[in-house]
């Protein structure tokens, strides 16, 4: 049987997403997906390590009060890192293939915005920006971009309690969109995974804080 993408080579694999039979050159073995379903290849292992050390450098030790009001002896801030194109490109690439099968990405302003844009550029899929809080007297909508009828993958920079992602999911669901996955750059491992799971959301971290601190 010929590859159902290029029509030239012999098909050797079946894409787990679209179920088509594809050849070696139209298949990404790491993902089990064809090149149509995953147009961007994941980073090579050494580049993932490079990215890990860049993100590790964003972990600052000290006494901090988090947005939630909780105290912490460390703080993760990748907002500065993602102003750098090389880091943003690597993250966009890693985030985009974790959204295979989704119609697009969604992120809460401000931290996730560069990330959803990067994922969108890599994957060719649209994105949605979710506003932080509903403005009391404003006429602004809670989100920018198309949500109704779309299956969206939420992207976060840093996940702590999962509250931000949960609110994003509520906005998407109340606007007739579908969401069941949150991809985060750093999971602080403070209970978000369980809270999100109980709200039918799977947390997919690129890095866990335990990997970053020990590295
Ligand atoms: Zn092929
Ligand atoms: Zn496919």
pLDDT at 40 over 90: no
pLDDT at 132 over 90: no
Tell me the C-alpha distance between 77 and 108, whole Å. Answer: 15
110 Cα: distance to centroid of ligand 2 (angstroms): 33
pLDDT band at 138 (very low <50, low <70, confident <90, very high): low
Q: What is the DSSP string of 96-142?
A: HHTTTTSSEEEEETTTTHHHHHHHHHHHT--EEEEPSS--SS----S
Counting every residue, how long is the chain? 215
51 Cα: distance to centroid of ligand 2 (angstroms): 27
146 Cα: distance to centroid of ligand 1 (angstroms): 33
Using one digit for the tens of pLDDT, what is the confidence trace for 139-169?
678 999 999 999 999 999 999 999 999 999 9
> Which class is 45-214 in CATH?
alpha beta
Ligand closest to CA 11: 1
pLDDT at residue 196 in the model: 98
Using one digit for the tens of pLDDT, what is the confidence trace for 166-209?
999 999 999 999 999 999 999 999 999 999 999 999 999 999 99
105 Cα: distance to centroid of ligand 2 (angstroms): 19
Average pLDDT, integer, range 54-83: 92
pLDDT at 64 over 70: yes
pLDDT at residue 41 in the model: 85
How much is the pTM?
0.88
38 Cα: distance to centroid of ligand 2 (angstroms): 7
Contact 168, 130 (CB under 8 A): yes
pLDDT at 134 over 70: no
Give the Å distances, CA to CA, from 106 to 96, 124, 143, 152. 12, 14, 9, 6
Tell me the C-alpha distance between 52 and 145, whole Å. Answer: 31
Ligand closest to CA 3: 1
Ligand closest to CA 16: 2
pLDDT at residue 214 in the model: 61
More confident residue, 100 or 24: 24
172 Cα: distance to centroid of ligand 2 (angstroms): 26
Element (H, E) at 50: helix 45-56
């Amino acid at each position: 049987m010929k590859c159902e993408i290029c029509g030239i080579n012999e098909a050797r694999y079946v894409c787990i997403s679209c179920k088509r039979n594809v050849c070696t050159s139209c298949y990404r073995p790491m993902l089990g997906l064809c090149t149509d379903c995953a147009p961007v290849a994941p980073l090579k292992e050494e580049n993932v390590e490079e990215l890990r050390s860049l993100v590790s450098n964003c972990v600052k030790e000290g006494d901090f009060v988090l947005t939630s009001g909780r105290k912490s002896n460390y703080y993760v801030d990748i907002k500065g890192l993602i102003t750098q194109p090389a880091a943003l490109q690597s993250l966009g690439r890693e985030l985009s293939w974790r959204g295979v099968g989704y119609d697009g990405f969604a992120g809460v302003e401000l931290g996730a915005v560069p990330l959803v844009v990067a994922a969108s550029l890599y994957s060719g899929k649209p994105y949605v920006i979710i506003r932080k809080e509903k403005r009391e007297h404003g006429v602004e909508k809670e989100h920018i971009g198309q949500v109704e009828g779309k299956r969206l993958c939420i992207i976060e920079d840093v996940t702590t309690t999962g509250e931000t992602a949960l609110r994003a999911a509520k906005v998407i669901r109340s606007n007739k969109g579908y969401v069941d996955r949150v991809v985060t750059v750093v999971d602080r491992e403070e209970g978000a995974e369980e809270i999100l799971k109980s709200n039918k959301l799977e947390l997919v971290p690129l890095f866990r804080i335990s990997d970053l601190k020990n590295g």
